[in-house]
Amino acid sequence: MAIQVYNSLSRRKEEFVPLQGNRVSMFVCGLTPQDETHMGHAKTYVGFDVVARFLHHKGYHVFYLQNVTDIEDRIIDKMRSTGRGWKDIVNQYFGEYLEVMSALGCTSVDVYAFATDYIPEIVEQIQGLMEKGHAYLADDGSVYYDTTTFSGWGRLSGQKVEALRPGARVAVEERKRHPGDFVLWRAQKPGEPAWDSPWGKGRPGWHIEDTAITIRHFGPQYDLHGGATELLFPHHEAEIAQAEAYTGVTPFVKYWMHTGMVMVKGEEMHKSLGNFWPVKAALKLYEPEVIRFFLVNVQYRGPIDFTPDLLDEAKRSYERLRETVRSVDAERRRAPESGKGDRTLKAATTKALDDFDVAMSDDFNTREAVAVLFDYSRAVNKAIDSGAGRTALDEAMRAFGTFGEILGILAPPAVGADTIDRLLDLIVALREDARKRKDFAAADRIRDALGAVGVVLEDTRDGVRWKRR
Ligand SMILES: [Zn+2]
């Protein structure tokens, strides 16, 4: 089934057709590491992780690039308030971000691109924009984009240049020619980190890093750009203005996707409102899988209300789902080859796989997909009650595996290599005990059983040791 994506650019759902065969280049606005990763970040990045996972499941080769804004006003503010260096701040908060993302199962990013690693590309792009008359140098050595020179300005957000009167949204900077103009290169102020440029020392503006990074990796045009809704204007509008004016290629991005916000009791989550939820704090109260389940239980575009009550509810529902998967797994180990419930179970599995695909293909509607999982879970439990056979249960287990893989939940219980090694040590020790008791029949049985799974025993000076054949 073809995927339909809601494209913020056209404000409607469109069939997803990548620019080049089954290759998908995907970019999502990343973190400015200067504070704790909060639930708003988690919602956005879990959302796009699911997008990448589903595209991968549908056979696309996805290259997922995420930037890291490692120099920005807020980082400089943090330097001033703490006396720490910018790299030190970035390393700490980006490290925490990676930990949290990995706990939440966000595994699909291929490259994290740090803005300051792209200074030559940034400078080149700004020079190109100046040569084409889209950017101008101010007296202090900063460079601004002249938004009146770009006819496409406002296409994504529906904002008009005239709507940007002084004082509205953008603080008026004296050096700008028009209120909507934005900075491409900011001249160094005392004590600020800076890089060399043809206009003197300074640092890149926030918008230019994304287009420098994506043009280097993807060229002038790519498939999918994601980010939180609040980045749509002016950030994403500015990206379009930069890239399309610089390369002349339109559209710069084929599909623009935006995730809904995390609200707390109906209010926007914000540090200044005192309702700010760092993911680390949430992880102390809930398992990572429960948080992820809570986040995928809405469609990515929708807002989500983050309250402990709703998380508790999510925890209970998720536990029911997980219980079904556990009983399928236990049941299939002891069930006979076939049973009375097979026909209905097999039909339910086929239907669930289809319905799940329909839900996910409809603009990655994870909310509907989760509803499919619950319907399926009820059908599976009924089939188990009426007696399902091993083959049908194996199929059900595989279906849950597919659903879990795409949504990043329902991970099979982790039996790591390390657990297996410890169990083998224990088995060998028990066999030694049997030999000491002169129970050679038991000792031989253990040796043969180990041999059958490729583990051989050998006598060493330190006693009997096992090794894999
Ligand atoms: Zn961005």
Task: Calculate how far, in angstroms, residue 205's C-alpha sits from the geometric centre of ligand 1.
Answer: 11
Q: How far apart are CA 198 and CA 136, in angstroms?
A: 13
User: What residues pair up with 226 in beta bridges, in sequence order?
Assistant: 28, 257
Domain boundary among 407, 429, 448: 407
34 and 177, same domain (yes or no): yes
Residue 160 — pLDDT band, cuts 50, 70, 90? low
Task: Calculate how far, in angstroms, residue 66's C-alpha sits from the geometric centre of ligand 1.
Answer: 9
Task: Calculate how far, in angstroms, residue 30's C-alpha sits from the geometric centre of ligand 1.
Answer: 6
Task: Calculate how far, in angstroms, residue 32's C-alpha sits from the geometric centre of ligand 1.
Answer: 10
Task: Calculate how far, in angstroms, residue 358's C-alpha sits from the geometric centre of ligand 1.
Answer: 31
359 and 222, same domain (yes or no): no
Question: What per-residue confidence (pLDDT) applies to 166?
Answer: 45
Q: How far apart are CA 469 and CA 466, in angstroms?
A: 9
Task: Calculate how far, in angstroms, residue 406's C-alpha sits from the geometric centre of ligand 1.
Answer: 25
Task: Calculate how far, in angstroms, residue 373's C-alpha sits from the geometric centre of ligand 1.
Answer: 34
211 and 349, same domain (yes or no): no
DSSP track, 453-469: TTEEEEEETTEEEEEE-
Task: Calculate how far, in angstroms, residue 54's C-alpha sits from the geometric centre of ligand 1.
Answer: 23
Task: Calculate how far, in angstroms, residue 225's C-alpha sits from the geometric centre of ligand 1.
Answer: 9
Q: Is the residue at 352 inside a domain? A: yes
pLDDT at 461 over 60: yes
Q: Is the residue at 393 inside a domain? A: yes
Task: Calculate how far, in angstroms, residue 381's C-alpha sits from the geometric centre of ligand 1.
Answer: 45
Amino acid, single-letter form, for residue 27:
F
pLDDT at 322 over 70: yes
Task: Calculate how far, in angstroms, residue 246's C-alpha sits from the geometric centre of ligand 1.
Answer: 17
**pTM of structure:** 0.86
Task: Calculate how far, in angstroms, residue 143's C-alpha sits from the geometric centre of ligand 1.
Answer: 19
Report how many domains make up the chain.
3
Task: Calculate how far, in angstroms, residue 53's C-alpha sits from the geometric centre of ligand 1.
Answer: 21
Q: Which domain holds residue 343?
A: 306-407
Out of 146-150, 263-267, 405-409, 434-438, pick the least confident.
263-267
Q: How far apart are CA 279 and CA 346, in angstroms?
A: 39
160 and 237, same domain (yes or no): yes
Composition of the chain by helix, strand, coil, percent to 5: 50, 15, 30
Helix axes 288-296 and 390-407, enclosed angle (nearest 10): 80
Out of 177-181, 262-266, 423-427, pick the least confident.
262-266
User: What residues pair up with 65 in beta bridges, in sequence order?
Assistant: 27, 111
The H or E element containing residue 24 is: strand 23-28
Q: Across residues 144-167, what is the average pLDDT? A: 78
Tell which wins on pLDDT, 466 or 418.
466
Q: Across residues 6-27, what is the average pLDDT? A: 97
Could you tell me what percent of the chain has a pLDDT over 90?
80
Q: Is the residue at 344 inside a domain? A: yes
Task: Calculate how far, in angstroms, residue 299's C-alpha sits from the geometric centre of ligand 1.
Answer: 22
Task: Calculate how far, in angstroms, residue 69's C-alpha sits from the geometric centre of ligand 1.
Answer: 8
Task: Calculate how far, in angstroms, residue 227's C-alpha sits from the geometric centre of ligand 1.
Answer: 7
pLDDT at 413 over 80: no
Best CA proximity match to 139, nearest among 196, 111, 194, 177? 177
97 and 230, same domain (yes or no): yes
Q: Is the residue at 298 inside a domain? A: no
Task: Calculate how far, in angstroms, residue 7's C-alpha sits from the geometric centre of ligand 1.
Answer: 17
Residue pair 96/37 in contact (Cβ under 8 Å)? The answer is: yes
pLDDT at 165 over 60: no
Rg of the chain on CA atoms, in Å: 28
Out of 165-169, 346-350, 375-379, pick the least confident.
165-169
Backbone angles phi, psi at 294, to 5 degrees: -55, -40
Residue 395 sits in a domain whose CATH number is: 1.20.120.640
Q: How far apart are CA 212 and CA 242, in angstroms?
A: 9
Q: How many Å from the N-terminal Cα to the C-terminal Cα in the chain?
A: 45
160 and 253, same domain (yes or no): yes
Q: How far apart are CA 457 and CA 461, in angstroms?
A: 13
32 and 124, same domain (yes or no): yes
Tell which wins on pLDDT, 468 or 70.
70
Q: Chain-wide mean pLDDT for the chain?
A: 92
Q: How far apart are CA 318 and CA 174, in angstroms?
A: 54
Task: Calculate how far, in angstroms, residue 222's C-alpha sits from the geometric centre of ligand 1.
Answer: 15
Residue pair 298/367 in contact (Cβ under 8 Å)? The answer is: yes
Q: What is the pLDDT of residues 200-220, one digit of tens each?
A: 999 999 999 999 999 999 999
Question: What per-residue confidence (pLDDT) applies to 161?
Answer: 54
Task: Calculate how far, in angstroms, residue 229's C-alpha sits from the geometric centre of ligand 1.
Answer: 11
Helix axes 39-57 and 86-103, enclosed angle (nearest 10): 60
Task: Calculate how far, in angstroms, residue 171's C-alpha sits from the geometric centre of ligand 1.
Answer: 20
Q: What is the pLDDT of residues 253-311, one digit of tens each?
A: 999 999 998 888 777 777 777 777 899 999 999 999 999 999 999 999 999 988 888 99
Ion ligand 1, residues whose Cβ is below 5 A away: 29, 210
Residue 138 sits in a domain whose CATH number is: 3.40.50.620
169 and 203, same domain (yes or no): yes
Task: Calculate how far, in angstroms, residue 28's C-alpha sits from the geometric centre of ligand 1.
Answer: 7
Residue 167 — pLDDT band, cuts 50, 70, 90? very low
Task: Calculate how far, in angstroms, residue 135's C-alpha sits from the geometric centre of ligand 1.
Answer: 20
